[in-house]
Structure 1
């Protein structure tokens, strides 16, 4: 089974090739490690944190940057079961983050403070998905 924490060069290039001046919604699916996996010498290495605890630290340290970029959480949920999809698919949490423009996402991930915070995300996750959507209109029908 393939695990994904960071984008492949091809996927990141496809993301960068899309317009940066319009709002985006990012679907995040998270599967936490049982034990966080920090690099040797990191301030949190050896603390015995769970992956979920390390992700909480990521939220605490990246949250102010996310908010400064105009990001908001549109929806958050806890995984229950797969209805359509691979039987082996499992996630712990999911959420949709919205950015006022794709450029704000790029500004966030290149921020020096964010680069320090993202170590917590990497230590926390066993697998993840990050999927970009152009926001559309809500309503009472599927189509």
Structure 2
């Protein structure tokens, strides 16, 4: 099973956590070899690109929107297989994004411009995980 977007139940559960302080979103990303723009062909580049390249289009597009919402990318890096975890399983890329609050994150995520750039994210990803982490005092 793949996971590319939150479910209604997972979004409700996140809101119910009542995290009014800063939150860091741990992104685990697995890319398509070639980005799949079937869902949004109008967003496809003129020539095929890799999933990693499509994800860069997404990040480049949302960066100003993220900053405007009070968010910031704290870390990005290439990943691989687990040191502790299932053999043969791993992720291509890891990203940590800080937001002022869950409310700020949701406002950013619901921005129509961010949703438009989200087409690049969807085309890029074979699978993903997004773990909201409450920032400790």
TM-score (norm 1): 0.87
1:1-143 alignment runs, 5 A limit: 2-38=1-37, 39=39, 41-44=41-44, 47-136=47-136
Shift in Å at residue 77 of structure 1? 2.1
| Contiguous gaps of at least 5 residues in structure 1 | 138-143
Quickly say closer, same or farther: Cα 1:80–1:45, change in 2 above 3 A.
closer
Tell me what 1:141 maps to. Answer: none
Larger Rg over CA atoms: 1
Would the alpha carbon gap of residues 104 and 88 (structure 1) be closer, same or farther in structure 2, given more than 3 Å must change?
same
Contact 2:43 2:119 (C-alpha < 8 Å) held by counterparts:
no
Aligned pairs, number: 136
The answer on whether the counterparts of 1:71 and 1:100 sit within 8 Å (CA) in structure 2 is yes
Asked if 1 retains the 8 angstrom alpha-carbon contact of 2:31 and 2:125, the reply is yes
Q: 1:20 Cα deviation (Å)? A: 4.8
Relative to the length of structure 2, the TM-score reads 0.90
RMSD: 1.6
